[in-house]
Amino acid sequence: MTVPQNLFTGAMMDAAQPVPEGLIDGNKRPAGRRFNVYRNNVAVSLTEAMHQAFPVITKLLGTQNMDGLAGLFLRAHPPTSPLMMFYGAEFPAFLAQMPQLAHLGYLPDIARLELQMRRAYHAADTAMADAAFLSDLAPEDLMALHARIAPAVTVIKSSWPIYDIWRFNTEDDAPKPASGAQDVLITRPEFDPVVQLLPQGAADWIIALQNGASFGTAFEVALQSTPSFDLTTPLTMLLQGGAFIEFDRKG
């Protein structure tokens, strides 16, 4: 009796299936609960990976609920790569389609935030471009500028107060979240990702820059959603976050 690997994984991921025949103990008796060692190892190690990957979601839901959710998730979405540092990419969408969690509509965006922080942590190292010349630029030259943005930099737009929720669950004495939409910026000045609240319109401006638009074109994009948009604050945030790795003055 041979045991093909698809039979092994099928029984391993579904405890309702019988232990495959042909697996035995040292006395040639059926392996029985010995097979559960593999069932447990896979479930426990992937559940632990989900706890580590999504600590704020775990805190919001409670450890027991997160265990249950991770058990469902790991069966629906086993890892597709041995790089466990990136496990859980489907988790935000998975949370969004759970009817039981519909009353916690912010969970998927919090999961996206945690996922992107992990990606930022492992993103390529980059050196900040020299930005001293920016203060001497005439406004029209500033608007003609293009920039290459570091791979660690991410913007997350949300219709929920995700920055307040994230802070409330990661910092002591953080204020209780109010209602309202919040966009956040993730940068990695050195090794630890930094999460900051973006002013209105800034997310659109930064996303346009990431897509290759000039400062000026990106500015016009931001004005469409936020007529009062001012790039001073987000520009300072990007500079302090080491976000610019190259400037192109010719456009």
Partner 1 sequence: MLDQTNFNHLPPSPGVGYKPQHFQDIIENSGSVRWLEIHAENYMGDGGRPLAQLRHLAERFPISVHGVGLSIGGETPLDADHLARLKHLVSWLNPASFSEHLAWSTHESHFYNDLLPLPYTDATLARICDHINQVQDTLGRAMLLENPSSYLAFEESTWEEPAFLAEVSKRTGCGLLLDVNNVFVSATNLGFSPQQYIDAFALEKVGEIHLGGHDEDTDDHGAPLLIDSHGREVVDPVWSLLDHTLERSGPKPTLVEWDTDVPEWSILEAEAARAHDALQRVIA
Q: Which residues bind partner 1 (CB under 8 A)?
A: 1-6, 8-9, 12, 22-29, 31-35, 37-38, 41-42, 45-46, 49, 78-85, 121-126, 151-152, 188, 191-192
Smaller CB separation from partner 1, 27 or 135: 27
Q: How far apart are the first and last CA of the chain?
A: 68
Would the CA dihedral through 113, 118, 122, 126 be positive or negative? Answer: positive
Closest C-alpha to 243, from 120, 137, 119: 120
In the bound complex, what is the minimum distance in angstroms from residue 47's beta carbon to partner 1? 10
Smaller CB separation from partner 1, 22 or 62: 22
In the bound complex, what is the minimum distance in angstroms from residue 91's beta carbon to partner 1? 16
Residues across the chain: 251
Smaller CB separation from partner 1, 7 or 223: 7
In the bound complex, what is the minimum distance in angstroms from residue 85's beta carbon to partner 1? 6
Smaller CB separation from partner 1, 40 or 240: 40
In the bound complex, what is the minimum distance in angstroms from residue 238's beta carbon to partner 1? 19
Tokens of 127: 């050196």
* Alpha-carbon span 144 to 248, nearest angstrom: 9
Smaller CB separation from partner 1, 34 or 167: 34
8 A C-beta contact, residue 78 and residue 47: no
* Alpha-carbon span 235 to 243, nearest angstrom: 10
In the bound complex, what is the minimum distance in angstroms from residue 243's beta carbon to partner 1? 15
8 A C-beta contact, residue 57 and residue 49: no
In the bound complex, what is the minimum distance in angstroms from residue 129's beta carbon to partner 1? 17
Neighbours of 131 (CB within 10 A): 14
Smaller CB separation from partner 1, 29 or 103: 29
Closest C-alpha to 116, from 96, 98, 91: 91
Where does residue 245 rank: exposed (0-12), middle (13-18), buried (19+ CB within 10 A)?
A: middle
